[in-house]
Structure 1
């Protein structure tokens, strides 16, 4: 179930987000090392900003956006503390990116700005709501150039775990006309265990820092 900006603000203000782990997701680090990220990059649902910070440090032209002003403030502070004050973050609704002329052109979709979109744990938030998933896909289509690549890292329902977990079929059915699904593979998503129950952890190894690697999907989708 999706939440308001006020809900997400509280999560960041109280530092209770299980996805704030003080480091980029290993699966996203691996994508960059494989050369899978190119051109101008959008990081929707940027949260604490770890991926925008990573890619900025490596020389990419990247913008992180989040619905939550508190998340954006958190990400700015995080970037400064990591010595990457030039990292760019903006408040924006991922469902309405097409309304940004600087992202999508005017009319929407006439001049998409981004070559790559890196979605780490945003898509699955809409997993149980087909209308919102469709709105998100339309929003991404407006800002991703033809031939551009969307990478999605989403929690999987293949194992017990935390957060909104989805089946691979949800990803496949969400990207139809105008998209080509090039790869969908099992992966792992690192999160803070926090108050998770033993059933949610499912016997996973928990690090001394309270982190565990949960089942996920890593997906590469081409914009046609």
Structure 2
């Protein structure tokens, strides 16, 4: 997967999803004790979710294909005195990282996958986790007005992690994704909690 289109989103100004802070849904997961062990943030962008989780004392690796975004993430980490690691990686080939994680965050990556790409992405996530690991997917929902681009139905989200994928659906809850274009309330979203089995 080439990073050029994604990189351009950061070079040409703030990306629509770059909100200068963590997604509130991810912050709530952390506040509820939902983050454990080593953490992977897939499609981390400029790093706000990763930096927030790292500021809580967790070991975090943020990966993306957009090198401009990763450079910004690294600069933010240095400015804020937060220890976090950022690296270029293809979300469809996470096994190449050669590491395993206890918690995986996907804030805005899943809904960018076409239907036929989802099985490969879900398998890639499984390749860097072991049974008992937790995955959180925050993606645009197709419910309600003012949906974000590429909205996903609840059924499609659940189907992507169906039996046989290495994952079990713990919960899929309604939520919001903040963007630069959806006002203070953000866009309709799903927050899925998945367990590696």
Deviation at 1:212, TM superposition (A): 4.1
Deviation at 1:144, TM superposition (A): 1.0
Q: Is the 8 A contact 1:189 1:215 kept in 2?
A: yes
Q: Give the Cα–Cα distance (whole angstroms) in 2 for the partners of residues 83 and 22 of structure 1.
A: 16
What SS does structure 2 have at the residue aligned with 1:192?
Answer: coil
Q: Is the 8 A contact 1:114 1:143 kept in 2?
A: yes
Equivalences, count: 194
What SS does structure 2 have at the residue aligned with 1:145?
Answer: strand
Q: TM-score, normalised by structure 1?
A: 0.83
Q: Give the Cα–Cα distance (whole angstroms) in 2 for the partners of residues 162 and 175 of structure 1.
A: 22
Where do 1:137-156 residues align within 5 Å?
A: 137-156=122-141
Q: Is the 8 A contact 1:39 1:61 kept in 2?
A: yes
Query: Alignment partner for residue 119 of structure 1, among 80, 83, 106?
Result: 106
Partner of 2:20: 22
Q: TM-score, normalised by structure 2?
A: 0.93
Query: Alignment partner for residue 160 of structure 2, among 167, 174, 199?
Result: 174
The runs of 5 or more residues in structure 2 that have no matched partner are: none
Query: Alignment partner for residue 75 of structure 1, among 73, 76, 99?
Result: 73
Query: Alignment partner for residue 216 of structure 1, among 176, 189, 192?
Result: 189
Deviation at 1:80, TM superposition (A): 2.3
RMSD: 1.4
CA deviation vs aligned residue, 1:136-193 (integer Å, no higher than 9, x gap): 0010010011111111000111122232211111111101212110100100111101
* Alignment of 1:163 onto 2:149: yes
Query: Alignment partner for residue 49 of structure 1, among 39, 47, 50?
Result: 47
The runs of 5 or more residues in structure 1 that have no matched partner are: 104-112, 194-200
Q: Give the Cα–Cα distance (whole angstroms) in 1 for the partners of residues 176 and 161 of structure 2.
A: 22
CA deviation vs aligned residue, 1:88-135 (integer Å, no higher than 9, x gap): 1000000001133x22xxxxxxxxx11110110101111xx2221111
Q: Give the Cα–Cα distance (whole angstroms) in 1 for the partners of residues 116 and 150 of structure 2.
A: 16
Deviation at 1:81, TM superposition (A): 2.9
Partner of 1:89: 86
Q: Is the 8 A contact 1:12 1:74 kept in 2?
A: no
Q: Give the Cα–Cα distance (whole angstroms) in 1 for the partners of residues 6 and 79 of structure 2.
A: 22
